[in-house]
Structure 1
Amino acid sequence: MLHMISCSAYSYAAIRFLEIVPFQQILSRRQFFKIFALSAIFCFSVVCGNTSLRYLPVSFNQAIGATTPFFTAIFSFLIICKKESAEVYFALMPVVFGIVLASNSEPLFHLFGFLVCVGSTAGRALKSVVQGILLTSEAEKLHSMNLLLYMAPMAAVILLPFTLYIEGNVAAATVELAKRDPFIIFLLVGNATVAYLVNLTNFMVTKHTSALTLQVLGNAKAAVAAVVSVLIFRNPVTVMGMAGFAVTIMGVVLYSEARKRSKVTAH
């Protein structure tokens, strides 16, 4: 929720005071509901993702997240009828197969954690498709900063009841921590600032490439996070699990190459 509040504040300052980009108003009720839907999907993905971390190790969580391009391809076809070449769809098959392989050999596998993690992954894919519509549609095109300006406060309002229910004493706990160590304030501000930059970059990549490309790029982060998780938390991994994750990453690489070839062919 802190991230969404910071995104609202930074976007407002960048647009209204610094005038980095022109301010854009919401043009219709339809556009408003699309932005609200984007906010709700984002919140669903975040809540499911954080919940899954209670039941699954970070490494396996990131491995599941690597299947996001698969879901993005499906949602792109269902929502905006965007078809990829047969080679691109074929390249996504190892992505799914690798996760099936890793799931069957995960020593800390938890069914509920797995399901909510898949839900988070699908939500992240759906979000990238919807934000792509809002950023590139000729009739309803918004600049990345303006979209973030509208989406962030909506997401904050949606997350508020969850925050109060799950972390009702978070404000008091933060104040106590700040009294003992004022450096915590610097860390929170820095964290919120980075969150704004990440979300803004996320939107800009979607606008200038595609939703599917965004999710494939995100898998580089997943690979690094999985390795760091094993090194820090020492969670057990199996040879089969590592092989499954490797197959998934290989599928992502194959997808990237297939996309390049399909673009060259199209031109």
Structure 2
Amino acid sequence: MKASTGQWFTIGLVSSWYTSNIGVLLLNKYLLSNYGFKYPIFLTMCHMTACSLLSYIAIVWMKMVPLQTLRSRVQFFKISALSLVFCASVVSGNVSLRYLPVSFTQAVGATTPFFTAVFAYVMTMKREAWLVYVTLIPVVTGVVIASGGEPSFHLFGFIMCLGATAARALKSVLQGILLSSEGEKLNSMNLLLYMAPVAVVILLPATLLMEDNVVGITIALARKDVNIVWYLLFNSALAYLVNLTNFLVTKHTSALTLQVLGNAKGAVAVVISILIFKNPVSVTGMLGYLLTVLGVILYSEAKKRTK
């Protein structure tokens, strides 16, 4: 009975992880592209504000995980540096959704292992086995093919999406370098608790400078259509749920299971986005995406075998 309950709990967690991940992605796309709310920095700031508040409630009030305190000013500066890279990643990703279909952004996002390997080598001189590097060839080739066959290709959107993917990889490598000592390591929930408020501080002036009168425009829009308020609140809560469920799935499954689920999640997001937004797709584009996913699976296998 206990094993059965545990299985259902894990299935529920994975379902919540998939739903929140794909949900926030599709809602971002709807708001920034279809609804016409063209303020990706403000949208990211809403996400980070929700993550700040909900992280505090979950850790300090509800005690879902023990609170890990910061040890030094240096540790705070390291977390601030990570937060800056994290902001760049999320904002770039949201900007790309204004110009590109979700299916294509998922194909580009699947190249994260390539950028991770490059940054790990450049910043730590960490070399992987030759087999790992070979598996990165289909990862990159697939995106090149998908780009050539993408009917809705937009160069600026593609550059932003590539930047978001690179920044995401850079954050994971930096996190390993900056928070490597035992005294500085934080679990992802506590890291988010400290990163999110720093992100809000970074994004607030960026929003005011780069998205002129966004607060006034949002208030005016809310007077015409109150749904925008609910969209933003729900979207921001989902952004936190993505981080919470990711932490819980990581805790209750193995790293390998997480990799497999992550690869499948991208494919599920592609199918759902095409069904909802009905964006045109070409056979070439889909073959390119499948080649990239195959490359990521081979990469995961190669990494596992060379450990």
- Normalization by structure 1: what TM-score? 0.82
Matches within 5 A, 1:140-179: 140-164=184-208, 165-166=210-211, 168-170=213-215, 173=218, 177=222
Amino acid at match of 2:213: G
Distance 1:179 1:239 in 2: 41
Counterpart for residue 168 of structure 2: 124
Q: Does 2:150 correspond to 1:76? A: no
The alpha carbon displacement at 1:189 in A equals 4.5
SS at match of 2:153: coil
Mapped to 1, the partners of 2:204 and 2:77 lie a distance apart of 19
* Structure 1 residues 36 and 105: CA distance shift in structure 2, 3 A: same
Instruction: Please name the residue that 2:72 is paired with.
Output: 28
User: Given that residues 138 and 294 in structure 2 are in contact (C-alpha distance below 8 angstroms), is that contact kept between their aligned partners in structure 1?
Assistant: yes
| Matched residue, 2:99 | 55
**1:230 and 2:241 matched:** no
For the aligned residue pairs, the C-alpha RMSD in angstroms reads 3.1
One-letter amino acid of the counterpart of residue 165, structure 2:
T
Deviates more, 1:32-41 or 1:156-165: 156-165
Is the CA contact (8 Å cut-off) linking 2:138 and 2:291 kept in structure 1?
yes
CA gap 1:205/1:121 in 2 versus in 1, 3 angstroms: farther
- The structural deviation recorded for 1:32 is 1.8
Q: How does 1:1-267 map to 2 (within 5 A)?
A: 1-133=45-177, 137-164=181-208, 165-166=210-211, 168-170=213-215, 173=218, 177=222, 188-202=232-246, 218-263=262-307
1:156-192 residue CA offsets vs partner (Å, 9 max, x unmatched)? 11111333342734477368648965x8766654433
How big is the shift at 1:94?
Answer: 0.5
TM-score by length of 2: 0.72
Query: Which residue identity is paired with 1:227?
Result: V
Gaps of at least 5 residues in structure 1 are none
Cα contact 2:102–2:273 (8 A) shared by 1: yes
- Looking at structure 1, the residues matched to 61 and 91 of structure 2 have their Cα atoms a distance apart, in angstroms, of 33
After TM superposition, the structure 1 stretch with the greater mean CA deviation from structure 2, 245-254 or 154-163, is 154-163
- Bigger shift: residues 249-258 or 159-168: 159-168
How many equivalent pairs are there? 261
In structure 1, how many angstroms separate the alpha carbons of the residues matched to 2:246 and 2:171? 11
Work out the CA distance in 1 between the residues paired with 2:66 and 2:277: 46
